[in-house]
Amino acid sequence: MSSNGSNKIFSSASEAIKDIPSGATLCVGGFGLCGIPENLIAALVEKGVDGLTAVSNNAGVDDFGLGLLLQTRQIKRMISSYVGENKTFEHLYLTGQLEVELTPQGTLAERMRAGGAGIPAFYTPCAVGTIVQEGGVPIKYRSDGSVEIESEARELRRFGERDFVLEQAIKGDFALIKAWKADTRGNLVFRSTARNFNVDAATAGKICIAEVEEIVEAGEIDPDDVHLPGVYVHRVIKGPSYEKRIEKRTLSLGGDMESSATKLSPDRLRIVKRAALEFRDGMYVNLGIGIPTLASNFVAPDVQIELQSENGLLGIGEYPSEDVVDADMINAGKETVTTKPGSSIFTSSQSFGMIRGGKVDLTLLGALQVAPNGDLANWIIPGKMVKGMGGAMDLVSSGTRVVVTMEHTAKGGKHKILDMCNLPLTGKGVVDRIITEMAVFDILQEEPPAYDTQPASRLELIEIADGVSVDDVRAATGASFRVADGRFAPPLRPMMQEVADLQR
């Protein structure tokens, strides 16, 4: 469909979406609640169309964003990377009332980008060796908990020394997006991290409908400032109002590093502080939600790092004070943040392009299970708990350093470090180091020979917490490991040494 600039401005959201039929596929912008087309979604709820397929990173929350269309059962299938804290989303999926095609976040962004660029398919290293590639991810459950529809296997092909997964592009019948400003020709400007998936979704829609906060005359936006050219945009409406709800309002605690972790147990605080010793000056770092994010508060004074957030931000600053909280500025954990001098903002597909391309030096993230061969599981307990893989599969498959931070055991002392992961994998052979409250392990590239009483294991204990014995660690670990003793590695060290000691 082509469109010139003379008829792109529509009077209302209901007018702009009036020809969206039941059964349509919609590519929807936004990340969490940031940059979502809230007026267009409300108009769809009122219109009552159903049987929709929604392609979106997530589905908002229970009572806002796409969560509203889930409540009214107007969505038949979600193609998403993250269920998150949306209880309606999770409940409908696990009880067989909603089809969910879980897709790694970077793959999802690239599938939409490719669809908009006329590329039918592409190869990615993401998800090699996981059930996403091998097939078998539940798409639809029956009411009794059995699986009615599951994903098919993806083609695998080797390029050079690595295997890659074939992924097909996504095109939508319509794209629903949110921008900050438009001109009458449909050129768009986005604000802060509200750019996220909006650009990729816009290009993938046969008809793109954009809602904005301001419409200006053609020529009032400098061509250098246009983020999305009007050729991609067919309809524009000015939203009558915006709630711009914030999912996680996170405020500065006055710059006191210790105060940001006051709610942590001593064990978790030990993990956080030890994780901070992984940072090296000049690193570009991606931090997972929770403990990894808190580690950034304890960066050594002489270390400068750049934090990358997969929703499209490089150079994350401090949490904001109340007077500068901005709904359009969040991190990948949906927390309000600020930027710092030298920061940059970009689209979701570009964010994962830099991740997939190996430009991020270190990934710090949590885990449900880890194995001595570097296998990682952290995104789903089939039939019980599903948060989605988010960006984790892309991050751990990038070929850069991966450090896992987690409590050593689960509730009841259940082992999390196992000879073999029994949960669906996030990545195969991807972990370099494990940090727990008890110890630090390295995962060696190759299994060394056994010597004396030491097992021939790739899992090597290199540091141990004060007051913890090797026997304590063995009892809490469901896999055999060797202990660094000076013959093949530096001898076992205490945790929490100064950075200088670790860098020697």
Residue 289 is predicted with a pLDDT of: 86
For 341, what's the count of Cα atoms within 13 Å in the CB-facing half-sphere? 1
Least confident of 146-150, 206-210, 302-306, 447-451: 447-451
CA–CA separation, 439 and 463 (whole Å):
5
Average confidence (pLDDT) over 93-105: 96
Closest CA to 264 of 288, 293, 299: 293
Burial of 412 (0-12, 13-18, 19+ CB in 10 A): exposed
pLDDT surpasses 50 at 44: yes
For 366, what's the count of Cα atoms within 13 Å in the CB-facing half-sphere? 22
pLDDT surpasses 70 at 348: yes
Q: What are phi and psi of 360, to 5 degrees?
A: -90, 125
pLDDT surpasses 50 at 503: no
Domains along the chain with CATH numbers: 7-120+169-238 (3.40.1080.10), 260-503 (3.40.1080.10)
CB atoms within 10 A of CB 44: 29
Least confident of 82-96, 124-138, 248-262, 442-456: 248-262
295-320 pLDDT, tens digit per residue, is 988 999 999 999 999 999 999 999 99
Both tokens of 410, joined, read 């689960």
Q: Does the model's pTM come out above 0.75?
A: yes
CA–CA separation, 22 and 52 (whole Å):
6
> H or E segment at 460?
strand 459-464
Query: What is the identity of the amino acid at 79?
Result: I
DSSP SS3 for 291: helix
Residue 386 is predicted with a pLDDT of: 86
Catalytic site positions: 310
pLDDT surpasses 70 at 482: yes
Cβ(332)–Cβ(289) under 8 Å?
A: yes
DSSP-assigned letter for residue 266 = H
Least confident of 83-92, 166-175, 463-472: 83-92
360-413 pLDDT, tens digit per residue, is 999 999 999 999 999 999 999 887 888 899 999 999 999 999 999 999 999 999
User: 136 Cβ partners below 8 Å, 6+ apart?
Assistant: 150, 151
Estimate to the nearest angstrom the gap between the alpha carbon of 242 and the chain centroid: 25
Q: To the nearest whole percent, how much of the chain has pLDDT over 70?
A: 95
The whole-chain average pLDDT of the chain stands at 93
Closest CA to 282 of 301, 304, 264: 304
206-241 pLDDT, tens digit per residue, is 999 999 999 999 999 999 999 999 999 999 999 999
